[in-house]
Amino acid sequence: MDPARFVRVDATTWRVEPSGAMRVPVVIYADENLIRDMDDKVYEQAVNVATLPGIVQASYAMPDAHWGYGFPIGGVAAFDPDRGGVVSAGGVGFDISCGVRAMLTGLSVGDILPLQKSLADSLFQQIPAGLGSKGTITMEPAEMDAMLAGGARWAIEQGWGELRDLERIEEQGCMAGARPDFVSDRAKERQRMEMGTLGSGNHYLEIQAVAEIYDAAVADVFGLAQDRVVISIHCGSRGLGHQIGTEFLKEMLVTAKEAGIELPDRELACAPINSEVGQRYLGAMRAAINCALANREILCHYARRVFGHFFPGSDLPLLFDVSHNTCKLESHLVGRRRRDLFVHRKGATRAFGPGHKSLPEALRPVGQPVLIGGSMGTGSYVLVGEASSEAKSLSSACHGAGRAMSRHAALKQWAGRRVVDDLAAKGILIRSPSTRGVAEEAPGAYKDVDAVVAAAEQAGLARRVARLRPLICVKG
């Protein structure tokens, strides 16, 4: 994008002042290089979001923003139900509650390297991955509804997880207000054999080493230390979430028209929050959040089982689990008073600062862990939420590196087998059922994650705590 299209506020803040149908400004957090590398669709989509009824404060975009469906990926927007605010399926995304879970192993790189190949092979065998991957769990109707209502707590009750995990999961592992009865039979059928699976695309289970510490005090609270090994799991609500998004987008097109909402783009289909369709979507979306939380809990259990085989007696506590495709009712200070708002985060992560009441006691003094996945073969990051992020971005931060090119373009430039071999030469073992998928996710297809997190820190959204480097990646 051309930086001249914006008013530059400071080194990492760019604004588009309201004009035409816009109700609020657009605010993008990025340095100049990241702005130049963003596609023009980010500008267009962020401006379109700013026209929606009931939007509060601004239409935001994070440093990793790129073209999405309706909303840009990396888009954040909050809506006030008392002022005609809307909920948009495109503002949540198709992979509802896609997120990252990080686990501590207490092991060092030296413990892993002698067993690296065997560990990679075992994880690949035990963790179903790939397009349409099926697991060993088959969900009958009553179990499906219990899972959609119970989230990670349900998984733990079934023996796939540990009770101590709940305090380290967003929403304590169970999203209130879920309505399994608002989820279609088709969506439930798609999920029937997909619990405990990674899926495809940019989803992964990665074994990582702490490569650099930026904030020793916070790292100590988080349990991170130089050369210690971390497990990261990135996945979401699989076919169920995609089906919910697809179905409600069609309904919302009709509802928006009936409500007299002028849409600058059909992909911004939405419904008034207080409408019947809006309430049904929220109930179904919350059920999908619980599906994703349960899915990551099961995958966490599988990873613990594999590590228990190679490292008997190993203890793998949870650092944190946070989603980045949601719409949540949150209280935020807007101007001089608190308002209950429905905050859409699409490819953006909640980043509560120190003292937030939702955080577990052990983390509350320092703030929420913000888990940033890099591209396959590059570094990932652990950040911590800043107090300043509420005023700047409704307590939101980036969620990853963000794509720099389409999957189609990546396929033209890279061959999957070559990517695997090149990364192996660097000591990074890739295991995937699809060489095509590996090519689509080649490291060069993504933005520079170092630049993205540096911009997020400079903007006051979240602060760097540690950088992680990959050792093993099971890729969907």
Encoded tokens for 183 = 């989820």
Active site residue 399: yes
Contact 91, 394 (CB under 8 A): no
Helix crossing, 276-310 with 238-258: angle to 10°?
170
> What is residue 261's DSSP assignment?
P
Q: Which of 66, 356, 399, 408 is flagged as catalytic?
A: 399
Residue among 171, 128, 457 nearest 291 (CA): 171
Q: Which residues pair with 350 in a beta bridge?
A: 396
- Spatial CB neighbours of 220, under 8 Å, sequence gap ≥ 6: none
Alpha-carbon distance 422 to 265, whole Å? 42
Alpha-carbon distance 231 to 223, whole Å? 13
3-state helix, strand, coil in the chain (%, to 5): 40, 25, 35
Cα–Cα–Cα angle for 151, 394, 374, rounded to 5 degrees: 65
Q: Report helix, strand or coil for 346.
A: strand
Alpha-carbon distance 278 to 261, whole Å? 14
Question: φ and ψ at 370, to 5 degrees?
Answer: -115, 115
Task: Supply the residues annotated as catalytic.
Answer: 399
